[in-house]
Structure 1
Amino acid sequence: MENRKKVAFYTLGCKLNFSETSTIARNFNDEGFDRVDFEEIADIYVINTCSVTENADKQFKQVVKKAMKLNEKAFVAAVGCYAQLKPEELAAVDGVDLVLGATEKFKITDYIHDLSKNDMGEVHSCEIAEADFYVGSYSIGDRTRAFLKVQDGCDYKCTYCTIPLARGISRSDALENVLKNAKEISAQNIREIVLTGVNIGDYGKGEFGNKKHEHTFLDLVQALDKVEGIERLRISSIEPNLLKNETIEFVSKSRTFVPHFHIPLQSGSNDILKLMKRRYLREVYIDRVNKIREVMPHACIGVDVIVGFPGETDEHFLETYHFLNELDISYLHVFTYSERDNTEAADMEGVVPSNVRAKRSKMLRGLSVKKRRAFYESQLGTNRTVLFESENKEGYIHGFTENYVKVKTPWNPELVNTLQEINLTKIDEDGSVRLEFLNKLAEI
């Protein structure tokens, strides 16, 4: 056992990346490696990269430096979206030994023959058209909830986005395989599963060459709702044009699906939505929010929005700001537009200066704080169910209600990974909500 090599992982980016890192880690375990935390000395460091923003690119170099500080002789491998888009660039980063593209990352152990350092990173990267098969993934052991991948790739051609270039065409897991993975997760005493993918509302497209939908997203949620042992299911980001009334209505009556939706908007201006080549206009977005509020008044609705897109004038931005201010949503994820190579938007006119992008971003982040506060205040005095997490943060344990209100209570290890009935009492200075237990046994 002394000779077992140690491997550590670092994930940049989205929930989908976390699910894939976890699957890759299990492959290493099957090959006789021991997984350790990234802060520990390891023989191999695997970094799962992201390319959505310029910041993610910069972060990669910082993570490599961190690995080299821990063990300058360690073997460093880069996988993921950035590795597919710019393999040569990553291979040239000091300390990187191996770069694997979209199809190769799940076979990483096949590429590690010896752990000696390379002068230049070795690249194995496919043409993205070859990413024509589906690899199911899910994350367990990293957190209280699991991320379950149900779909990969995207057929949309949004003008700012590199994801189709990094992950290929839209393709889905077979329904029976998703259900098998969900059962495996629930058998590990995990209470909540988050469905993830690049464009999960497009679920159902089959293998390469078979673009018809064998099952719909509604079929998927209905089937998952029947899986015994799962206590909570959460839908991650879903496009507004693919979130159908039938799905919203099903979630409102579902046994396990929670009242929380994250719906990308990107802009509240129809002019900008057209420049972005989004597949809806703001009127569709209003319909989605109104439908959710009609059947689930207490639901949490999160919104993605991009500021500083080429051609976004002050008037366009204020249109977005007022649109969001008047909309009954719960929080924002604000992204400052950054130019990505090989996208249409990178060559568009009307470039917004970086200081203006930063100012607009700050305004929307301020609006998000206001929206979240108003949503939390609307929930005070209501009874909810909380899933508690595992970390002791300054003497408190935190958790999330089914409708995504972040709560805290004094640390009690017996609460970890348990669902508790609570009443939301007051908002604390840090923005989380205090609670009272409805079941007194939980306080013991």
Structure 2
Amino acid sequence: MKKVAFYTLGCKLNFSETSTIARGFESEGFQRVDFSEAADIYVINTCSVTENADKRFKIIVRQAQKANPEAFVIAIGCYAQLKPEELAAVDGVDLVLGATEKFKITDYLNDLTKNERGEVHSCEIEEADFYVGSYAIGDRTRAFLKVQDGCDYKCTYCTIPLARGISRSDTLENVLRNAKEISSKGIKEIVLTGVNIGDYGKGEFGNKKHEHTFFELVQALDEVEGIHRLRISSIEPNLLKNETIDFVANSKCFVPHFHIPLQSGSDKILKLMRRRYLTNLYVDRVKRIKEVMPHACIGVDVIVGFPGETDEDFLQAYHFLNELDISYLHVFTYSERENTLAAEMQGVVPKSVRSKRSKMLRGLSAKKRRAFYESQLGTVRTVLFEGENKEGYVHGFTENYVKVKAPWNPELVNTLHEVELTSIDEDGLVRFEFVEEKMLA
């Protein structure tokens, strides 16, 4: 039996696709092993969002070669679609598959002889016009369920439309079938993922008609039996409608946690980025969530050091974020990407300045998270415990994304308990007391 190992870089969407591709290998008789073990085939699912992901690819290839110098190494994912020849030239890479080919990966494995240079099978991105559904089961407690792929937005810094093609969605029936399949495996939480999930409903082949809206998807998933928690991974502020916010506030399964990309707190920079909203709309979304769910957790994506961002622009963005009732930030330091408009823009910010600004925002994020956790002390929440023993502790998340810790107890894994949040530990995680000893699920 041939052994195959997988490594995933990047987002939740990549993890869901890796899992689906891995299940395809297993159904054809391959044995899946850990990436650190000797395998016959190593599949690396790449990302191109940051410079770092590009560099890490070469390190991971070397890891595979160290485990088995004769192994067949395959690159798939966004970087493989954007720069297939560059990846094919990396020492040790045998096969590079583009955006559509990766889902037919086993068709390319008739001969596992090492190649002197990687072989490339990559479509033009315009051909990536069909949808492949997928989901990933991570640590046995939650699953990432892909509902949408691609993006029709033209943000000036982003290569994802070039790597993943036009916006297209899974059918509602298929999403519900996958959700039922996940819940039948005893998984307690499903995280909805995609490139632009608020755009859910666009059909295949560039059909812009929405068969169903994102709101209809949310309503239908809330009725699936056996699901305990549903989480929306990330949604554009202009696509997060009041009807969705209000529905989540009264939902059976959807949790009060939103991750809403902002990218800049300066309207000038948002316009240069070609985002589809300005800061006033973002403020409105945050206020609406907090009105109907005061305990909701709100995460924010921010890019620092975008071309044209002056010290004044950055400080304006910093103060904007400081005053917003949000819970944490994901901070990205801008890096130039080929074939994007931003890479040609004037006003390039020195890398040392980008780094300094990034550090300031990471500090603000830590302050925001601490303040949010403090606001939750004394409240009763439901915790889903995870499966990993981390230095003698078990961790878990409340429905509103407060991370808690307790001494390791394997019986807690993948169970839901009502707890009272009591104090914040020195590592920033929250301690609690069980409200009742009986499990909720």
TM-score (norm 2): 0.99
1:389-443: CA deviations, max 9, x gaps?
001111100000000000000010000000111110100111110110111346x
Measure how far apart 1:141 and its partner are.
5.3
Instruction: Give the aligned residue type for 2:266.
Output: S
The one of 90, 99, 102 equivalent to 2:99 is: 102
Q: What SS is found at the alignment partner of 2:134?
A: coil
The whole-number CA distance in structure 2 between the counterparts of 1:405 and 1:20 is 27
Provide closer, same or farther for how the CA distance between residues 127 and 142 of structure 1 changes in structure 2, counting only shifts above 3 A.
farther
Q: CA deviation at 1:343?
A: 0.1
Match of 1:139, SS? strand
In structure 2, the gaps of 5 or more residues are: none
Corresponding residue for residue 127 of structure 2: 130
Question: How far apart are the structure 2 equivalents of 1:148 and 1:274?
Answer: 32
**1:342 match:** 339
1:82 alignment counterpart: 79
Say yes or no: does 1:43 pair with 2:50.
no
Aligned match of 1:259: 256
Whether 1:246 aligns to 2:233 is no
Q: Which amino acid aligns with 2:415?
A: T
Correspondence for 2:321 among 301, 319, 324: 324
1:55 aligned residue: 52
Residue in structure 1 matching 2:353, options 345, 352, 356: 356
Tell me the secondary structure at the aligned position of residue 346 of structure 2. Answer: coil
Corresponding residue SS for 1:79 = strand
| SS of residue matched to 1:251 | helix
Tell me whether 1:182 sits opposite 2:158 in the alignment: no
**Superposition pairs of residues 16-415 of structure 1, within 5 angstroms:** 16-140=13-137, 142-415=139-412
Q: Secondary structure at the match of 2:237?
A: coil
User: 1:304-336, CA deviations, whole angstroms, 9 ceiling, x for partnerless residues?
Assistant: 000000000000000100000000000000000
Q: Give the counterpart letter for 2:435 in structure 1.
A: L
Query: What is the Cα deviation at residue 143 of structure 1?
Result: 4.2
How far apart, CA to CA, are the structure 1 residues paired with 2:158 and 2:438? 50
Q: Which residue of 1 aligns with 2:5?
A: 8
* Amino acid corresponding to residue 203 of structure 1 in structure 2: Y
- Tell me the secondary structure at the aligned position of residue 241 of structure 1: helix
Distance 1:143 1:245 in 2: 33
The one-letter code of the counterpart of 1:54 is E
Task: Please state whether the residue corresponding to 1:440 is helix, strand or coil.
Answer: coil
Q: Secondary structure at the match of 1:8?
A: strand
Check the 8 A contact 2:140/2:414 in 1, yes or no.
no
Q: Please state whether the residue corresponding to 1:155 is helix, strand or coil.
A: coil
How far apart, in 1, do the equivalents of 2:193 and 2:202 lie? Answer: 15
> 1:128 offset after TM fit, Å?
0.1
User: What is the distance in 2 between the residues matched to 1:355 and 1:210?
Assistant: 44
Q: TM-score, normalised by structure 1?
A: 0.98
Instruction: Quote the Cα distance in structure 2 between the aligned partners of 1:363 and 1:21.
Output: 34
Q: Secondary structure at the match of 1:7?
A: strand
TM-fit CA distance, 1:115: 1.7
User: How many Å apart are 1:40 and its aligned residue?
Assistant: 1.2
2:13, 2:144 within 8 Å by CA — same for their partners in 1? Answer: yes
Inter-partner Cα distance in structure 2 for 1:39 and 1:402: 34
Number of residue equivalences = 439
Q: 2-side partners of 1:209 and 1:420: how far apart? A: 45
The C-alpha deviation readout for 1:345-379, integer Å capped at 9, x for no partner, is: 00000000000000000000000000000000000
Distance 2:186 2:206 in 1: 38
Deviation at 1:54?
0.6
Q: Does residue 1:417 correspond to 2:419, yes or no?
A: no
Stretches of structure 1 that go unaligned for 5 or more consecutive residues are none
Deviation at 1:209, TM superposition (A): 3.5
- Greater displacement, 208-217 / 124-133: 208-217
Report the Cα distance in structure 1 between the residues aligned to 2:213 and 2:257, rounded to whole angstroms.
20
For residues 65 and 426 of structure 1, the distance between their equivalents in structure 2, rounded to whole angstroms, comes to 44
Query: Take 1:440 and 1:164, find their aligned partners in 2: how far apart are those partners?
Result: 49
Counterpart residue type for residue 313 of structure 2 = H
Displacement of 1:114 after TM fit? 2.1
Q: Distance in 2 between matches of 1:364 and 1:222?
A: 36
Greater than 4 Å deviation, 4+ residue runs: none
1:438 equivalenced with 2:410 (yes/no): no
